[in-house]
Amino acid sequence: MHNAIPLSIAALIAVGVTIIGCSYLVSPERISGSFGLKPPAPDADTRAWLRLKGIRDVASGLLVLTMMLTGDRRSVGIALIAFAIIPLGDMSIILGSGGSKSAAFSIHGLTCVVMLVVGLLLIHAI
């Protein structure tokens, strides 16, 4: 039963990332302002770049959900730890680009930490 909480959090992360990715695919201009950087110009090339982020997020979320259905908890934990590089990279890019420090740490940094903790809990669960 003690594995239920980390698995539930992993599922929430995966669903959340998938929903965010879908938002970048459907309406990139609307969601891009919440990322932590100044919203980019609303032209076709920018929308295409933002949709690249969206498809990355959708694929990441769906992979974790698929692993939860077909794999063992340890594999899900390993995937979460590997995918934690994404919010860490996002946070680093925002901070290096003069973006919102509060968004960098509260959105991306916190996501990274939660993914690492949940991943470790799943790896070490018996």
pLDDT at 118 over 90: yes
The rounded distance, in Å, linking the Cα atoms of 16 and 36 is 17
pLDDT at 1 over 50: no
Residue 71's pLDDT band (boundaries 50, 70, 90)?
confident
Whole-number average pLDDT of the chain: 92
Q: In this predicted model, what pLDDT tens digit does every residue of 2-55 receive, in sequence order? A: 678 999 999 999 999 999 999 999 999 888 888 898 888 888 998 899 999 999
Q: Are 91 and 37 in contact (CB under 8 A)?
A: no
Predicted local confidence at residue 2, as pLDDT: 64
